[in-house]
Amino acid sequence: MKKLDNLLLGVAFCFLIACSNKQKEIYVNSCAFPEGASVEEKIRLSAHVVPSARQLEWQQMEFTGFICYGVNTFTDVEWGTGKEDPAIFNPTELDAGQWVRTAKEAGMKMILLTCKHHDGFCLWPSAYTDFSVAATPWKEGKGDLVRDVAEACKEQGVKFAVYLSPWDQNHPDYGTERYNDFFVDQLTELLTQYGPVAEVWFDGACGEGPNGKKQVYDFKRYYDVIRRLQPQAVIAVMGPDVRWVGTESGYGRDTEWSTLPVTATSLSDIAESSQQEAGSGTFLPVGNMMEDDLGSRKLLADAKGVIWYPSEVDVSIRPGWYYHASEDTLVKSPQKLIDIYYSSIGKNSLLLLNLPPDKRGLIHENDVSSLMNMQRILRKTFEKNLIAGAGVSSGNINRLVDGQLDTYWQGSPGKNVLEISFDGDQVFDRLLLQENITEGQRIEQFVLECLVGDSWIPVTEGTTIGYKRILRFDPVRCSKARIVVRESRDVPQISEIGFYKASGEEAMTE
């Protein structure tokens, strides 16, 4: 537990890395500001905080899938009670391969499975409870859905992740210290029996258990188990590696910092305030993850340090998280999903899109169709980067289109302008930018200008870029464009640039 206890200790270590490598001043995961640091120094230091290896790998997945499945699927509710008769869980055509195939074809790189939701029903035959698939008619009680999904993921080259709800309405020990032992036992089963796990997702939703008590979760202990058994896994939402964006709508912030100013010094404080109500005082502003401003200079000025805490946008393809036949006609259209794509992945977040299988145990045809059309249309939009064949003012263009974060264009004081000369006139309405986050998130304000006649005309502008930013604007025709970085926390480094013309099918129909 001690290992995770104190952010300041971790940061002292980071300073050592920085000293021994003057070329690259980086602080992995966090940086505590020295006593008496000026605002300018805090801003500069924050621009050198970088993701841990597990956070970077997670971010680069971009698009991931969520499977909410369990007794709720059969009782037609969103939240169960923990008193369900397990016999109701009886899918007739369950095919985990279809779930993973659908996700993979849609471009998702990971599947997160609700191994246990708030009702406490387990999709694996846990040795620590009778409330599981072992008590159901499905496969005559011999099934293990966690195994089926983990194996299908392995076969198809998709990462596997576990959602284990801390809130458990079924377990008699809920609300007592013994429940923490039980939770650790279940976590251990999931982390030792099913191969590599890429993410562990702890939900912030929490109510009373069967005995009317609220549980004090021993998060530090849970994190310790995860770090020991699956060190590559990120811990999301009620956890230190990945931040809940603050809504379940699919829409992230226009200004999305992965570097968050904090007043906290311990990871447990971070966990406690991650998907919670206002008032903990851990983050600046004193408030919750739903605040609009989580990373401005104003907040940095009052902070004690900065952590790398990137945003994950979770949303369901349907109104509910679980399957309801009454929502078969309410599946989000491909155009709506594309709008969500731009508003999450296109705004420095990872997208976690829920695809709830139905009572048969299949992802419904309507969901599959929407998803495949979304992917097909996006592929059309992004198939041709118009920058190909162009030249850039800084010489070598290849480093801006090679898919590598650590090959980049770098600005210099007073010269933060990257000019692009296209191969003749080009028409585009999408701009994609990526920062070299392996050295920090820095850009605070930028504008795209195009040369029309003899004048540079502003076409669109943005604030943060981070891992990825995609801007949409009306089509523009030009042979020269430039990115002007107006404000940055240190020298800007742009890793990737793309100019695209959107497929006509992107247009919203609703």
Residues that bind ligand FUL in the complex, under the rule CB under 6 A: 78, 203, 205, 314, 321
Nearer to ligand FUL, 199 or 203 (CB): 203
Q: Which long-range contacts (CB under 8 A, 24 or more apart) does 219-222 make?
A: 219/268, 219/271, 219/272, 220/1, 220/4, 220/5, 220/267, 220/268, 221/1, 221/180, 221/184, 222/183, 222/184, 222/187
Tell the smallest beta-carbon distance from residue 327 to ligand FUL (Å).
Answer: 15
Nearer to ligand FUL, 78 or 272 (CB): 78
Q: How many CA atoms lie within 13 A of 498 on its CB side?
A: 20
* Beta carbons within 8 Å of 36's beta carbon, 6+ residues apart: none
Q: Can you say whether the dihedral through the CA atoms of 116, 120, 123, 126 is positive or negative?
A: positive
Please say whether the beta carbons of 156 and 107 come within 8 A.
Answer: no
Nearer to ligand FUL, 48 or 171 (CB): 171
Tell the smallest beta-carbon distance from residue 321 to ligand FUL (Å).
Answer: 4
Nearer to ligand FUL, 173 or 314 (CB): 314
Q: In angstroms, rounded to a whole number, what is the distance separating the alpha carbons of residues 407 and 395?
A: 13
Nearer to ligand FUL, 322 or 456 (CB): 322
Nearer to ligand FUL, 69 or 321 (CB): 321
Nearer to ligand FUL, 201 or 500 (CB): 201
Nearer to ligand FUL, 73 or 488 (CB): 73
Tell the smallest beta-carbon distance from residue 280 to ligand FUL (Å).
Answer: 18
Backbone torsions φ then ψ of 425, nearest 5 degrees: -70, 140
Q: In angstroms, rounded to a whole number, what is the distance separating the alpha carbons of residues 433 and 440?
A: 15
* Closest residue by beta carbon to ligand FUL: 205
Which helix (DSSP H) or strand (DSSP E) does residue 429 occupy?
strand 417-435
Nearer to ligand FUL, 68 or 187 (CB): 68
Q: Token pair of 335, please?
A: 């155009």
Tell the smallest beta-carbon distance from residue 121 to ligand FUL (Å).
Answer: 13
Please say whether the beta carbons of 277 and 324 come within 8 A.
Answer: no
Please say whether the beta carbons of 183 and 144 come within 8 A.
Answer: no
Cβ atoms within 10 A of the Cβ of 82, count?
20
CA 361, chain centre distance (Å): 26
Nearer to ligand FUL, 91 or 166 (CB): 166
Tell the smallest beta-carbon distance from residue 84 to ligand FUL (Å).
Answer: 15
Q: In angstroms, rounded to a whole number, what is the distance separating the alpha carbons of residues 4 and 239?
A: 12
Tell the smallest beta-carbon distance from residue 66 to ligand FUL (Å).
Answer: 7
Nearest to 129 by CA among 86, 75, 99: 86
Residue 13: which region, alpha, beta or left (left: phi > 0; alpha: psi -120 to 50)?
Answer: alpha
Please say whether the beta carbons of 10 and 29 come within 8 A.
Answer: yes
Tell the smallest beta-carbon distance from residue 78 to ligand FUL (Å).
Answer: 6
Tell the smallest beta-carbon distance from residue 252 to ligand FUL (Å).
Answer: 16
Tell the smallest beta-carbon distance from residue 259 to ligand FUL (Å).
Answer: 25
Nearer to ligand FUL, 174 or 408 (CB): 174
Tell the smallest beta-carbon distance from residue 205 to ligand FUL (Å).
Answer: 4
CA 317, chain centre distance (Å): 16
Strand partners, 352: 64, 314
Tell me the pairing of strands 259-262 and 243-244.
Answer: unpaired
Tell the smallest beta-carbon distance from residue 69 to ligand FUL (Å).
Answer: 11
* Beta carbons within 8 Å of 20's beta carbon, 6+ residues apart: none
